[in-house]
Amino acid sequence: MNIQESTPLLNRNNDTIVVINKIKESKPESPQTKKRILCLDTARGLTIFGMILVDNQGGDYVIWPLKETSWNGLSTADLIFPSFIFISGFSVALALKNSKNDIKTWSNIIRRTFLLFFIQCFLNLMAHKFVFDSFRIMGVLQRIALCYFLSCFSFLCFSKWVQRLFLAACSIVYLALMYGYPVPGGCGRGNTTPTCNAGAYFDHSVFHNNMIQPNDPEGLLSTLMAFVTCWGGVEFGRIFTNYFKKHSYANTDIVFRWILVSTLFLIPSIAIACTVIPFNKLIWSFSFALFTVSMGGYFISILYLLIDIIPWKSNRTRNLINKSVQPFVWIGMNPITIYSLMIFIEILLMFYIKVHNEYFWTRSYEVLYLSWLKNPYLASTVFSLVWFVFYDAIAYLMYRNKIFIKL
């Protein structure tokens, strides 16, 4: 991992963050190249905020917005991780817009892919007390790594239309296998239950006991559909970069284009979900993939409009907007670091550290929250919010000391 020390400065003219590297001098760039899109860091921070709330509940009593669906269906919690994957795709389009298809570029891509994959592999192994026979191989960072690699591969190696054909081919392979493969054991074709679906069968064939049973939500086959969500972000990022090839400033035209494309994904996703293939995050169904592209598009459109475009008439309003998003910007500048730290601390407190023969995680929740809040839903929510404040404080200290860890 590379720790980059830089000085983020707030540009009052356009509410973006300019990162000036103090270590390495580079050739002068155009203003648009040097500008950091504040809404993108905010979006990353908001998604990590959502992950912290969902993953740091004190018990089984979880309020609906933070409770993921058990199988078919949709909740706000189901959209958090896909939104991060969408933003990752958007970032790929920005990062690779001027990159060459050479050894240096690919060495960075492969290094980042392996780091993302093996960081959570280590965390999963740690959660299983370093028992190799049963630790989970796949996970959140592994899925991000695979989607990132596929997006970079397609972006650098194919022309624009071949990229879209490649995306269509991935979708066809997923649909053909998920709904057409004759799964043994009496499951047959087209069965998509938690214990009987082609994705789970292929994962069992590859990983055996090294997966969540009976269906791993970050399995191999469903990663093809997660790539569709990621590539949706690439296309939105491409709209952004192409726009600034012709314009030197931002206006509502780019937001209108994003909203139009988002709507074009939204309509068929709902139609498919209501008729043929229901929304399902755990197998990342085709309708769910299309829907998450549309939601990611609306998400980035709203943030870009509010934070980076609208010429607020008063400086007071502008400053209020900037200050209100800063807690998310702090996390958004080090999203993978904060997420990995969260998982590491969870594992320590859930599986290693005990107080009075009870793991610290459960004990602290029961004594410090449930004992006086009484309502388990309220106690669990407050518990997760306190954890967010803790991680946001760490992110702030890193931001203040100009520590930005880049994989």
pLDDT tens for residues 312-365?
656 777 778 888 999 999 999 999 999 999 999 999 999 999 998 999 999 999
- 283: burial class by Cβ within 10 Å (0-12, 13-18, 19+)? buried
The candidate with the shortest Cα–Cα distance to 369, out of 59, 115, 65, is: 59
**Residue 184: predicted pLDDT:** 94
C-beta atoms surrounding 156 within 10 Å: 17
**Residue 314: predicted pLDDT:** 65
In this prediction the pTM is 0.90
Q: What is the mean pLDDT of residues 380-396?
A: 98
**Residue 9: predicted pLDDT:** 30
The candidate with the shortest Cα–Cα distance to 51, out of 18, 26, 80, is: 80
**Residue 13: predicted pLDDT:** 34
Q: How many CA within 13 A on the CB side of residue 150?
A: 25
Q: What is the mean pLDDT of residues 185-209?
A: 95
Query: Among the listed ranges 152-161, 242-251, 334-343, 369-378, which one has the minimum average pLDDT value?
Result: 242-251
Alpha carbon distance 340, 21 (integer Å): 25
Decide if pLDDT at 3 tops 60: no
Output the average pLDDT for the chain.
90
Decide if pLDDT at 120 tops 80: yes
Decide if pLDDT at 270 tops 60: yes
Model confidence at 174, in pLDDT bands (50, 70, 90)? very high
Domain parsing of the chain, residue ranges: 82-310
Q: What is the mean pLDDT of residues 42-67?
A: 95
Residue whose token pair is 């624009």:
160
Both tokens assigned to 11 = 């540009």
pLDDT tens for residues 219-232?
999 999 999 999 99
The length of the chain is 407
**Residue 249: predicted pLDDT:** 72
pLDDT tens for residues 128-142?
999 999 999 999 999
Backbone angles phi, psi at 86, to 5 degrees: -60, -45
